[in-house]
Amino acid sequence: MLKLTYTETGIYLEYLAQSLEELITQRIILAMRVSESLMVEPGRASFLLPTHSPELNVLWAIADRQHDEITLCPTDEAFIEVTLRGVWLSHRMGSEEGIFLAELRVHTERLIWRIWQASVSPQSSLTDAYRV
């Protein structure tokens, strides 16, 4: 599963071996125990990946086959926008901060995570592009 955390300082992507249902259940239990509200709703989320990745052709082929779960859209010469279908978790309606969870095929999740990791590594010049 892919976990995208949206905060004031940017977006952070993680690859988790946990299932979508397990993580949502844990978050609901935590919210109940600390007496906080939690909004859970299906939706879509987008983020940018660099176009210079050698593995991007594989991701385009996957998106062509799984277009209901993942779509790619070029934004400019440097980036493509990746849109995933999944579930939003946040503390209130309309919040710009929260967690987005997407469950895809394991190969697809790992591929997206690898491309993301390569783009935000310390030696990458793209690091600041993700800190919106």
Give 25's pLDDT tier (boundaries 50, 70, 90): very high
Amino acid at position 67, single letter: H
- The rounded percent of the chain whose pLDDT value lies above 90 is 73
Domain count, the chain: 1
d(CA 58, CA 49): 13
Please state the pTM of the whole predicted model.
Answer: 0.83
pLDDT (mean) for 41-58 = 92
Amino acid at position 102, single letter: A
Three-state secondary structure call for residue 70 = strand
The answer to whether residues 119 and 128 touch, using CB atoms and an 8 Å cutoff, is no
Residue range of the domain that includes 82:
2-130
The pLDDT tens digits for 60-103 are 999 999 888 999 999 999 999 999 999 999 987 777 788 999 99
**94 contact partners, CB below 8 Å, separation of at least 6:** none
